[in-house]
């Protein structure tokens, strides 16, 4: 009986997860200058900050103008990392810092680093709700992604990024 209940629970969670993923992938957005639009409404703004040599960071702001996150574009070299096999050992990732919730997470990215890639992550993960940063969605986003790249660097002894 308990095994059957666990199977049902597992299947239900899989269906809900797949449904959420499918829903999140269908969200259409557009980036016009520094504003991300979802359907016909402005969703959030982002400032693109040059850090030199073609690298960019992004300041994410609610429509009220309040900054809720900062996204750094980072890289390091690890020839044994599975993602680096096509990039001469380079591993590229976004480092998300959510100020109000004191949360950090890291998400894979590939060069060229484009603002649209950051916007897509925010929109598809529903990090804004009713014009403000959504704490529950941000916590979920950080739990899912974690800090795998920082952990990898510590494991292999790398200290300097960029």
Of 127, 123, 129, residue with least CA distance to 140: 127
Q: What is the Cβ-side half-sphere exposure of residue 19, based on CA atoms within 13 angstroms?
A: 6
Beta bridge pairs of residue 76: 91
The DSSP string of 90-115 is EEEEEEEEETTTTEEEEEE--SSP-H
Could you identify the residue written with the tokens 């797949």?
A: 18
pLDDT of 94: 95
Question: What does the pLDDT look like over 84-140, one tens digit per residue?
Answer: 677 788 889 999 999 999 999 999 988 777 889 999 999 999 999 998 999 999 999
Q: Which two tokens stand for residue 130?
A: 């009713």
Whole-model pTM: value is: 0.77
Question: What does the pLDDT look like over 49-78, one tens digit per residue?
Answer: 998 877 899 999 999 999 999 999 998 888
């Amino acid at each position: 009986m308990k095994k059957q209940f666990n199977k049902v629970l597992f299947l239900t969670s899989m269906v809900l997860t797949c449904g959420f993923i499918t829903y999140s992938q269908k969200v259409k957005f557009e980036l016009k200058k520094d504003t991300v639009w979802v359907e016909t409404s402005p969703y959030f703004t982002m400032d693109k900050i040059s850090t030199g040599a073609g690298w960019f960071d992004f300041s994410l702001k609610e429509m009220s103008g309040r900054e809720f996150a900062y996204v750094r574009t980072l890289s390091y070299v690890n020839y044994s990392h599975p993602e680096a096999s096509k990039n001469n050992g380079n591993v590229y990732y976004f480092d998300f810092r959510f100020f109000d919730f004191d949360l950090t997470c890291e998400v894979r990215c590939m060069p060229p680093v484009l603002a649209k890639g950051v916007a897509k992550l925010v929109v598809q993960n529903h990090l804004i709700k009713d014009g403000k940063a959504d704490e529950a969605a941000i916590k979920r986003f950080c739990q899912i992604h974690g800090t795998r790249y920082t952990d990898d660097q510590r494991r292999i002894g790398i200290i300097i990024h960029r």
